[in-house]
Structure formats: C-alpha cells, structure tokens
Amino acid sequence: MRKLANAELDRLDVEGYHKAVKTPLVIVLDNVRSLNNIGSVFRTADAFRVAKIYLCGITATPPHKDIHKTALGATETVPWTYKKNTLDAINDLQEQGIEVVALEQADQAVALHEFQPLSGTTYALVFGNEVKGVSDEVVQTCNTVVEIPQFGTKHSLNIAVSAGIAVWDFWNKLPKVF
C-alpha cells in the first residue's frame, strides 16, 4: 500500500467544479465567530460539492487570510452569500422549497443517524455560534432539528467538526447526483 500523490486523486479544477452537478445541500452559518471554523466549513462544502453557503450575522466573509488558511481555496469554488439576519436566509430558503434543518440540542431533536433525508429534496443545514449554538428564534423557524449524539462529558462539538459529520452523513444518505 502506498499513499497517492495529489496528481493521482483525479480532482476537479475550479472551472470543472463550477460546472459540476452539486449535492442538494446548503449550509447556513448562524453567527459563527471563528474564521478558522468558517474556512473549515468551506473546505468540507467543497469536498462534498455543497450547493451554497449562507454566511449570516457576525460570520465573517471571504476574502480573509484566516478563512483562507483553512479553506485552502474553497472560497473560490463554493458559492456563498452574506445575510445580515439568519432568519432572512431561512425564510429565503424555505420560500425556495428547501427543508431547513438546525443542528442543535433541542427537545424533539432527531438523532442524526436516525434522520432520513427524502430523495428529491434539497436541505439546508444550520450551524450555530461556537458558544451559544443556533439561536432559539432560528431553531423555532427550522423545519426539523437534528442532533449529533454525544456520550462524553462535553456538551458540544466544534462547529467545523459538526459540519463535517453532518455533511458527510447527509451526503451518504442522499441519492448520488454525480
């Protein structure tokens, strides 16, 4: 066994990425403050061809050197939009027929491994602030709340880790479009 060289990975170039079919998945960042987390989410979104990212509230926007440090160019491939108010982004998405899912610890939350996305449906995953999580008013506006089960002593996961787990889980469960 040997490690593959980058040239052997058969990855898309930027132009190819823009033309490629996207996963029916959108990410919404609700007041995420860490530039490194934002960059990491862009990189995860690129890896799974997420359709778009909404950056909301205090969430910083590209270009920024600290976002670039972890995004490694994914801000050039993944389309994004800034919305001052997360609720405006949620309302826009729901008006487009997109099912909005908050990742949060809430009563009536469905465990991520038990949630089954519907074929032919586009989903928006909402991730919240590193300390406060997804705001209560946003949680109440979402169609569903999904929780990543945890079994240790900590109350939450890093938002970039949560995004990686959730995007992978949804990508794995959705019909493959490419």
CATH number for the domain harbouring residue 34: 3.40.1280.10
Using CA atoms, how far residue 172 sits from 8, 109, 148, in Å, is: 23, 20, 15
pLDDT in the model for residue 145: 98
Residue 92 lies in a domain: yes
Number of H helices, E strands in the chain: 6, 7
pLDDT in the model for residue 178: 75
Could you say which residues of the chain have pLDDT below 50?
A: none
Tokens of 114: 């038990």
Residue 4 lies in a domain: no
Residue type for position 112: L
pLDDT in the model for residue 113: 97
Residue 25 lies in a domain: yes
Using CA atoms, how far residue 43 sits from 68, 83, 90, 138, 142, in Å, is: 10, 20, 22, 25, 25
Residue 7 lies in a domain: no
Residue 71 lies in a domain: yes
pLDDT in the model for residue 176: 82
Per the structure, how many domains does the chain have?
Answer: 1
Q: Look at residues 86, 59, 84 and name the one whose alpha carbon lies nearest to residue 140.
A: 86
Helix (H) or strand (E) holding 71, with range, is helix 65-71
pLDDT tens per residue across span 63-102:
999 999 999 999 999 999 999 999 999 999 999 999 999 9
Residue 178 lies in a domain: no
Q: What is this structure's pTM? A: 0.96
Q: Residue 37 belongs to what domain range?
A: 20-173
Residue 61 lies in a domain: yes
Q: Report the distance separating Cα 120 and Cα 49, nearest Å.
A: 16
